[in-house]
Amino acid sequence: MRSWTDTLRFAFQPVVNLATGGVAGLEILARPETGDILAEARRDPELDGQLAVLALRAAARRETLLPLHVNVFAGTLADLGGLTPLHHAVREAGRLPWEVTIDVGPPYTHVPHQGLLEALTELRGQGFQISADGVGDGDVPLRLLVDMSPDLVKLDASLLVRPSAVRAMRTLCDELGALLCVEGVETELQYGGALSAGAQLAQGTLFAPPSRLPAAEVYVPPRSPADAPTPRSGPSVREFVRPAALLPATASAGQVRALLTGSPDVSGVLLVDRNGVPFRSVHRSRFLLSMSGRYGHALYADRPAAKLGDPPRTVGIDATAWEVLDVVAVGDRDRTSDDVTVVDRHGRCVGVVRLADLVRALSETRVEEAAGLNPLTRLPGSDAITGEVDRRIAAGRTFALSWLDVDHFKQVNDGAGFAAGDELIRAVGRLLQHAATGTTRVGHIGGDDFLVLADPEELAPLAAAVLDAPWTAGGRPVTLSLATVECVPGRVADHREAAACLAPLKKAAKALSGASWVVGRAGLPGHEIRRAAGAEAPSTGYAVAEPGRG
C-alpha cells in the first residue's frame, strides 16, 4: 500500500540577498502530486512535524551547501515544542542547526502564545534561526511579533503598494535586530519598491521560480539610483552576509579539496567545532596552491585541513560594514581577499562577508551621500532630513523639527558682500554640526536656511549655542531666527505635514526683534516664544501667542 510520502516531492526557492545579488538560502516547499497535504498539516501538528523532517532530508539528498528554510505552522510549535526529530534530522544530514531557519507561518488565531514562545526559546537553544512568515497578509498580532523577536521577518509583496508600511516594518526589524525579506516579488517594479523601502532580502518568481533542483544563480535586475534606499548611519553587516561553506574542525585536507573542486563559487571553507564556533579559515586559492604543488596531495590529503588554514577573522552580527573594514585593515596583508566570518552572540558562524561586496556598496553609498551634500557647507540637503523625519514618524517617535536662518540675509549680502555672506553660512553650519548631539541631524537646504531634526530634549543646548554666538558679517552684527515644531505620534502623517506646521512658526520668529526662537506643537494653535530681544523665555508651561500677532 502506497504511503502519502510516496507522492510527496519538494521544490526549492532561493532567498536572494538584495545587496550582493547572491542566494542567501533556500526555502523548501512541499509539492504533493495529489491532495492538499498542507491543509492536513495545518490541522495535524504531528504531520506538520514529519513534513519538516522530510523537507530537510530532501535538501540533504541534493547536497546543497546553502542555508535552508523549513516551513512549520505556528500551531505545530505551540503543540509539539522544540521539534526534537527535526534537530536529529539536521545532525544526521551533516548540517548544523544554525544553518537552518524555521519559517513560522500563520494561522496564529487560537494558537497559545505562551506555548509558541516557549517552543521558539527551545529552538533557539538548539541553534536554529527563527523567521516570522506571512507578515502583512496573515494574522500575526504585532505584540506577538515583537515577543517572538525573530531573526528574519518575511513580508507579503502586497504591502509594496504601501511603502510607508514597509519602511515602518524595516524600522521595527532594526529595533528587533532582524532582517526584512519581501516574498512574492514577481515584477521589476516590485523589486524596485522592495529596495527603496529598505528590504534586505527577497523571494519570488522574478529571481527564480521554485524548482526541483536548488538554484545556484538567480536573475537580479540592474539597480537604478531611484531604487537606492535612503542612506543609514553605516550599513549593517547583516545586509552583506553570504552563506558559509562549513566543515567539522576534524575535516581532512582531502575533504576540503573535494568541497572546493565541486563548488567553484565557494571562496573558502570554515572549519567549525561541534558548537559551530569557527576554528580555522581555509582560503580557496592558497589551499589549492598548496595541494597542487609537487607532492602536495601526497603530503596533505589525509592530514587535518586545519594545518593549511588560518585563524578566522570574525565580526559580530551587529557590526557595521565599516567595522568589517577595520578588521581587514589590521590583519595580514596577504589575507586582504579572505572572507570575514560573521558570528552570533554565542560565537557561532552565521555566514561570511566578502570584501568586494562591502567596498562596492560603501562606494555607492558615499557617491549618493556626496551628491546630496550642499557644496557650501558639505551638510546633507533636505532629502536626507525629510527621509529621517518619515522614519521617525513611522517608528512612532516624538521629534522636534526646526528651521534656522539668518535675519535680513539679503541686506547682509548687499552690505558686506557675497563672500562675507558665504563665510557666515559656513560658520553657522560648522557650529550647528559641533553643537549637534545624540540623534540630532543637521541639514542645509540652500541659501541661509538650515533644518535641524532632534529629540525635543536635545534641542535647547543647540539653540543656546547658536543663538548666543556673536555673529558678524563684514564687521556688521547679525542675528538668527529659529522656529521649531514638536511632533508627537499621530499628529503628522509625513514630513510634508510637519513642514506645513513649521511654516507659520518661521513667520512668527521672523516677526520678532533680534535673535529669536519660537516653538509650536503640531495640531495645536499658537506658539511659545522662548527667545526674543528684551524678553525672557518662560521657564515652565506653554505660553500661547495670540493668532495673528506673529
**CA angle centred on 295, ends 292 and 301, rounded to 5°:** 70
User: Confidence class of residue 293 from pLDDT cuts 50, 70 and 90?
Assistant: low
pLDDT given at position 544: 37
SS3 392: helix
Question: Are residues 146 and 171 in contact, defined by beta-carbon separation less than 8 angstroms?
Answer: no
CA distance 421 to 181: 49
CA distance 35 to 222: 40
The verdict on whether omega for the bond into residue 375 sits within 30 degrees of 0, i.e. cis, is: no
Order across the sheet with 399-406: list the strands. 441-446, 449-454, 399-406, 480-487, 516-521, 528-531
**Amino acid (one-letter) located at 409:** F
pLDDT tens by residue, 406-437? 999 988 888 888 888 899 999 999 999 889 98
Crossing angle of helices 456-468 and 418-435, rounded to 10°: 140
pLDDT tens by residue, 117-131? 999 999 998 889 999
Indicate the Cα dihedral angle 266, 326, 231, 223, nearest 10°.
-30
Decide if pLDDT at 8 tops 80. Answer: yes
Distance of CA 537 to CAs 413, 504, 540, 541, Å? 31, 20, 9, 10
Q: Give buried/exposed letters for 380-409 (b at 16+ CB in 10 A, else e).
A: bbbebbbbbbbbbbbbeeebbbbbbbbbeb
DSSP per position, 98-148: GGEEEEEES--TT--HHHHHHHHHHHHHHT-EEEEEEETTS---HHHHHHH
| CA atoms within 13 Å, Cβ hemisphere of 394 | 21
127: left (phi over 0), alpha (psi -120 to 50) or beta: left
Question: Are residues 382 and 451 in contact, defined by beta-carbon separation less than 8 angstroms?
Answer: yes
Crossing angle of helices 355-371 and 321-329, rounded to 10°: 130
Alpha carbon 311 to chain centroid distance? Answer: 29
pLDDT tens by residue, 467-509? 999 999 988 899 999 999 999 988 999 999 999 999 999 999 9
Question: Are residues 83 and 103 in contact, defined by beta-carbon separation less than 8 angstroms?
Answer: no
User: What percent of the chain has pLDDT above 70?
Assistant: 88
Q: Residue 308: count other Cβ atoms within 10 Å of its Cβ.
A: 20
User: Confidence class of residue 6 from pLDDT cuts 50, 70 and 90?
Assistant: low
Q: What is the mean pLDDT of the chain?
A: 84
Closest CA to 56 of 14, 6, 102, 24: 102
C-alpha grid cell, residue 293: 604543488
pLDDT given at position 232: 41
In which element (H, E) is residue 250 found?
A: none
Place of cell 558686506: 416
Decide if pLDDT at 290 tops 70. Answer: yes
CA distance 161 to 211: 28
**Amino acid (one-letter) located at 218:** V
Distance of CA 297 to CAs 173, 282, 288, 290, 426, Å? 48, 16, 10, 8, 66
